Structure 1
Amino acid sequence: MAKKKHSSIVMATYNGEKYLSEQLESFCKQTVLPDELVVSDDNSKDATKEIILNFAKTAPFKVLFVENNHNSGVVKNFENALKHAKGDIIFFSDQDDYWLSNKIEKYMSVFEDNKEIAYIFSDLKVADENLNDLGKSLYSPKTAELAHNYEKTPLAAFKDIISVKVFVNGATSAFRREFLSLICPVPVTTMLHDGWTAALISAVAKVKFLSEKYSLYRQHRNNVVGYRGYSFLLRLKNAAKENKQRKIDELNCLRLLLKRLNDLNITHKQESTSFLMNKIEILERHIKLYETNKASRAFSLIYDLTAGNYNVYFQKMKSFCTDLAAMLTN
C-alpha cells in the first residue's frame, strides 16, 4: 500500500490580526485536514503572534510558529516558512484569504492520481472585505482556456509565465516537496516567491490548472486584484513611464532563473533555458534602445512585432503598445 502523503500549509504573516482568524478557521473546516501549518511571522507589531499561538492550542493539526528578529520582507518570510515545512505536498497561503472546505481534499487527490503533476494552481473567487462573493474570477475565460492545456502541453505553463500571459497567484498553489531544493534559496526579485516557484517548477515538470475555485480572495485597501479604476490610456501612460525599470527588473529575474536552472543537475531543461536566453537577449536589446534615437527605437520594436517576438515572449499587442509609447515619450 502506498504511503499516505502528508500536507503542509506555509503562511507568511505580518500585522495580519484583522483577517487572520478567519483564514485559520477555514483550515479547520477542511474536509481533509492539513498535517501541519507552518507560520513565519515578520516581526509583527500587532496581535498576530498571540492569535497564532492561541490557535495552536486547540488546532486539530500541528502548528509551528517561527518568527524573524527583524522585518525581512515577504519573500524571505515565505522562504523561512518553507524551510520548516515537513509535508510531501506544500500549500502556499496568504494571511487574509479564506479557503473553501474541499481545497486540500481536491488538490491531494489530483497529486495522488497523477504522479507526474508537480505543481497545481487554480482559479479563485474575488470577495469583498467581509468575504462576500463579488461574482468575479481571478482568470478571464481566455486565460483559463490557455491554462487548461498546461498538463498536456510540455512547457506551455513555463512559457506563459515567462511571457507574463498568465499570472499564477501563489495563494492558490501547491507543489511536491522534492522541488524545494530547486526553489530555495528564493532571491528577492519582482517575481516574489510565488512567481519564482511557479516559473522554476514549470520549467522542468508538469503543471495542472484547476478551473474550479477553492479560495476566496479578499479585496481590501492593501490588497486588490485586477483593479481597473483608471482609463486604459492612463494605465498605458503610467506603464510607459516605468517601462525601462520594469524591463531591467525582469531581466534580472530571468538571469537568476537561468542561473538556477544551469547550476542544478536537472534533466529536460534545454528548451526552458533556450526560451529564457532568447527573452533575455530581447530584453537586453530593448534596454539598450533607450540610448538610441526614437526612429531606431520604433524600427526595432516594429521588427520584433513582425518577427513574432511579441507574440511568443510578451503580452502581444499590449506589450508592443506599452513599449512603443515608452520609447517615443522618454
Structure 2
Amino acid sequence: MPIFTVAIPFYNDQNYLSKAITSCLHQEFQESFEILLINDGSSDASLKIAKNFRNCFPEKIRLINLKENKGVGFVRQRAVEAAKGDYIVWADADDVQCPQRLKTIRRFFKENPDVDICLHDCYFIDKEGRPIDKQLKWPKSFEENPLYFEIKRNYFFIGFSAQRAGLNIPFRSRCRDFPEDYDFILRALFKNKKLKLIPEKLSHYRIHGKNRSNRHSYTYRATKEILEGLNLSELSKMLQNSSCLKEKEISLAICELLMTKENFKEALEKLKNGNHNCFYSNFMQGVCYFFLGNNKDSALYFDRAYSLDSTEPSVQNNLGVLKYKMGEVESAVELLKNALQNKPDYLDAQRNLKVASNGRNSLSITKKPLRLSWVY
C-alpha cells in the first residue's frame, strides 16, 4: 500500500497539467506513493494529457474520468474515497510541486503523530512560471487556535495541504464554485481535528487571473452561507477553552458571526455590554446601527472608528456614505476619494463615488474592515 496518494483534480487545465504531474513524479521521496488524477469533465486536451501520463506510468498513476463537470467539492470527495494511501496530499493542476515536498510531509507526520492536517508555505509564480515577489504571512498565534482565525477569514489553501486518510470529514459541493476547502477546514476544526503548519515552501502557486480565490463576490456569498451554519453556542465554548484568546477577542468574533447572520440587534447588544472601545468594536457598532436604520448613531460610531484609524479605507467609505446621506456631499466625496487613494481597487468606494457624483442615493457601506491580506 502506498504511503501517499497525491490527488490532482483538474478541469480544463491543458496549459499547466503536464508540469503539475511531472513535478509530482520527480519527488525525492523514496517510499511508495501513487498519483490520482481526477478529471472533472474537461472539454479541452486535459484528459488526453492525463491519459498519456497514465499510460506511461501505469504502476504510479491512476485516472478517474468524470464525463460531466461536478465541481471541485464532488471531485475531492471522489479522490478521498478512491485514495489508497495512508495520507492524502493535495496538488492543484496549475501549480508545481517542489521535489522535497513528499519527503518533508512524511517527516512532519512522523514527528507529529497527533496532527490530522498539515499546511505549508509556498512560492508564487505567474502564468509563465516566472517568480513573483509575494509571501504568505499567517497570524502569529494561528496554530494555537486556527478555528478563531478561520472564522475571521480563510487561511487554508488546500493545494498546500495534506491530511491523514480516514478523517471522516467529507467534502461537500453545493454548486460548482463552492469553496469546499473553507467548508472542509471549518468542519474539521469544529470536530477538534488538529491542524499544524510546516514553515517551509514546498509548492509553487501559480497566479493567472482565473484562480477561484479571485472571484470575490461569489466567495463572499458562499462564505456567508458557510458561517451561517455554525452553532454559536458550541463555537463560543470552543473558543473559551483556548488559553491564547482574550475575552475581548472571543466576544468580537461572536458578534461578527451574529452580524454575518444579519442578527444586528443581538450583535449590537453584545458589543455594548462588552464595552470595547477599539476600532473594530466601533466599526461593528456603526454597521449594526446602519442596518437597524439609525443613521445618526451609525455615523457617530464610524466617526469614533475614524478617530482611531483615519487611514483605514472601509471606515473612510462608510463615513462617506453616512455624510452623503446627511447632505454633507463635499465631505462625503472627499472621504470616498481618500478611501480609493489608500486602496485603488476598492470596489465599494469606486461604486459609491460614481453614484455620489451622479447625485443618486443608492450608496452602500462595507460590512467588515478591509482585512490585511495574508499575501504580501
Same fold (TM over 0.5): yes
Pick aligned residue for 1:250 from 214, 223, 228: 223
Shift of 1:211: 2.5
In 2: Cα distance, 1:250 partner to 1:200 partner: 13
Distance 1:248 1:17, change over 3 A: closer
Shift of 1:188: 4.4
Equivalent residue number for residue 170 of structure 2? 183
Residue deviations 1:237-261, cap 9 Å, x none?
xx9xx6xx976543321133549x9
Equivalent residue number for residue 335 of structure 2? none
Distance 1:97 1:196, change over 3 A: same
Identical positions, percent: 20
Equivalent residue number for residue 159 of structure 1? 148
Describe the SS at the equivalent of 1:136.
coil
Describe the SS at the equivalent of 2:229.
helix
Equivalent residue number for residue 122 of structure 1? 120
Q: Which amino acid in 2 is paired with 1:292?
A: G
Residue deviations 1:252-282, cap 9 Å, x none?
21133549x98xxxxx994159968654323
Q: Which amino acid in 2 is paired with 1:223?
A: N
Checking the alignment, whether the CA contact within 8 Å between 1:28 and 1:59 is kept in structure 2 is no
In 2: Cα distance, 1:254 partner to 1:178 partner: 25
Equivalent residue number for residue 282 of structure 1? 259
Distance 1:293 1:189, change over 3 A: farther
Equivalent residue number for residue 182 of structure 2? 195
Q: Which amino acid in 1 is paired with 2:107?
A: S
> Which structure 2 residues correspond to residues 60-139 of structure 1 after superposition, within 5 A?
61-137=59-135, 139=136
Describe the SS at the equivalent of 2:163.
strand
Distance 1:83 1:224, change over 3 A: closer
Shift of 1:19: 0.9
Give the stretch that moved more between structures: 284-293 or 62-71: 284-293
Distance 1:105 1:190, change over 3 A: same
Shift of 1:190: 7.2
Describe the SS at the equivalent of 2:116.
strand
Equivalent residue number for residue 292 of structure 1? 293
In 2: Cα distance, 1:327 partner to 1:252 partner: 28
Describe the SS at the equivalent of 1:65.
strand
Checking the alignment, whether the CA contact within 8 Å between 1:290 and 1:327 is kept in structure 2 is no
Equivalent residue number for residue 22 of structure 1? 19
Equivalent residue number for residue 13 of structure 1? 10
Aligned residue pairs total 284
Q: Which amino acid in 2 is paired with 1:158?
A: L
Describe the SS at the equivalent of 1:117.
coil
Q: Which amino acid in 2 is paired with 1:271?
A: M
Checking the alignment, whether the CA contact within 8 Å between 1:190 and 1:253 is kept in structure 2 is no
Shift of 1:22: 0.6
Equivalent residue number for residue 311 of structure 1? none
Equivalent residue number for residue 336 of structure 2? none
In 2: Cα distance, 1:318 partner to 1:271 partner: 33
Distance 1:290 1:191, change over 3 A: farther
Equivalent residue number for residue 207 of structure 2? 219
2:43 matched to 1:45? yes
Shift of 1:225: 7.6
In 2: Cα distance, 1:88 partner to 1:38 partner: 14
In 2: Cα distance, 1:74 partner to 1:287 partner: 35
Checking the alignment, whether the CA contact within 8 Å between 1:190 and 1:250 is kept in structure 2 is no
Equivalent residue number for residue 236 of structure 1? none
Structure 2: runs of 5+ lacking an equivalent: 242-249, 265-286, 307-311, 324-362, 365-376
Shift of 1:40: 1.9
